[in-house]
Amino acid sequence: MADISSNGTTKVLVGGHYQVAKSIVSKYPNSRSAVLPLLFLVQGIEGHVTDQGMRDVAGILGLTPAEVLASGSFYTMLKKKPTGEYLISVCRNVSCAHRGAHKVINALSERLDIDPGAVTADGRFELETAECLATCDGAPSMQINYEDFYNLTPESAVDLVDRIERGETVAGERGETVRTQREVSYETAVAGARLPGTAGDIEARTVGGESPPEDMKAGDRPKLRDDEGTHGG
């Protein structure tokens, strides 16, 4: 892992992004719970979890960068190096494997000319094998940026790549359009958050805005450093 000590890079979570970060933090009685969503926010802005992004998250939450890295590095959806715009995750677990997942992985690997775990030279596609995606009813199945594709053949999987490459809009099994990796990461970050100025603004809800129960320890309340948003941006 790269050095994540201070190096003067431009901050990521500033301005509007800082306001979004604050909304996310306010979902929780304890601000540390916001580590993962804030890392998704960084990934949504930067394309992956950057060192500076981790420093920003640490600053907002009152943690050390090492604590943020310790949490974030545990999870497969948080990518610590640049990812493809379209992440193709082919299930390799039991139901899919017994119905031909390896043929799909092979075909995609040949079509993209990369091994699973790698990103194409143009940065458009990343191929990975995934553990059970709870889509065994469509085995062999895969996700493209977390939209599901069912009952794949090597041909149909390659065809999806071709269509995305041609700029076509592609929809998954449940009719949802495949979005870019950044869009999906951003969406994951703000899930359940009530962003300022939108319907369901946190001010209009009780979530995050309630008075702390009397017997709740002081440290259980969100620790927001309001000055963080004003530096470096």
Partner 1 sequence: MAVSQALVVRKRLVEVDEPWKLDIYENTGGYAAAREVVTTSSPEDTLEEVKASGLRGRGGAGFPTGMKWSFVPKDIFPKYLVINHDEGEPGTFKDREMFELDPHQLLEGMIIAAFAVGASKAFIYCRGEFALGSRRMDQAIRSAYEKGYLGSGIFGSSFDFDVVLHRGAGAYICGEESALLDSLEGHRGQPRLKPPFPAVKGLYGQPTVVNNTETLSTLPHIFNHGIDWFRKWGSEKSPGVKVFSVSGHVNNPGNYEVPLGTKLSDVLELAGGMLDGNAPKAVIPGGISAPLLTITDIAMDFETLQAAGTMLGSGGIVFMDHTTCMVRNALIAAEFYEHESCGKCTPCREGTWWQVKVLERIEHGEGRQEDLDLLLDMCERMDGRCFCPLGDTAAWAVRSNLQLFREDFQAHIDEGRCTYETDHRTLVGARAIGPGDAGVTPQPSEGIGSDSEASS
The one among 103, 124, 182, 223 contacting partner 1 by CB under 8 A: 103
Shortest distance, CB of residue 187 to partner 1, whole angstroms? 7
Shortest distance, CB of residue 133 to partner 1, whole angstroms? 6
Task: Print burial letters for 112-149: b (CB count within 10 Å at least 16), e (below 16).
Answer: bebebeebbeeeebbbbbbeebebeebbbbbbbbbbbb
The one among 2, 6, 81, 94 contacting partner 1 by CB under 8 A: 94
Map residues 164-183 to x or -, x wherever contact with partner 1 holds by CB under 8 A: ----------x-x-------
Q: Tell which residue, 132, 165, 173, has the closest CA to residue 149.
A: 173
Cβ proximity of 209 and 26 under 8 Å: yes
Burial of 90 (0-12, 13-18, 19+ CB in 10 A): buried
**CA atoms of 30 and 22, how far apart (whole Å):** 13
Shortest distance, CB of residue 9 to partner 1, whole angstroms? 23
Cβ proximity of 119 and 81 under 8 Å: no
The smaller minimum CB distance to partner 1, of residues 148 and 159, is found at: 148
For every residue of 43-71, DSSP letters joined together read: HHHHSS--HHHHHHHHHHHT--HHHHHHH
Phi, psi angles (nearest 5°) of residue 86: -120, 115
**Options 2-10, 11-19, 161-169, 213-221: segment touching partner 1 (CB under 8 A):** 213-221
Q: Considering CB under 8 A, how many residues would be counted as binding partner 1? A: 73
**Options 7-15, 36-44, 160-168, 224-232: segment touching partner 1 (CB under 8 A):** 36-44
Map residues 125-164 to x or -, x wherever contact with partner 1 holds by CB under 8 A: ---xxxxxxxxxxxx---x--xxx----xxx---------
Is 75 among the residues that bind partner 1 (CB under 8 A)?
Answer: yes
Cβ proximity of 63 and 101 under 8 Å: no
Hey, which residues between 7 and 26 contact partner 1 (CB under 8 A)? none
Is 40 among the residues that bind partner 1 (CB under 8 A)?
Answer: yes
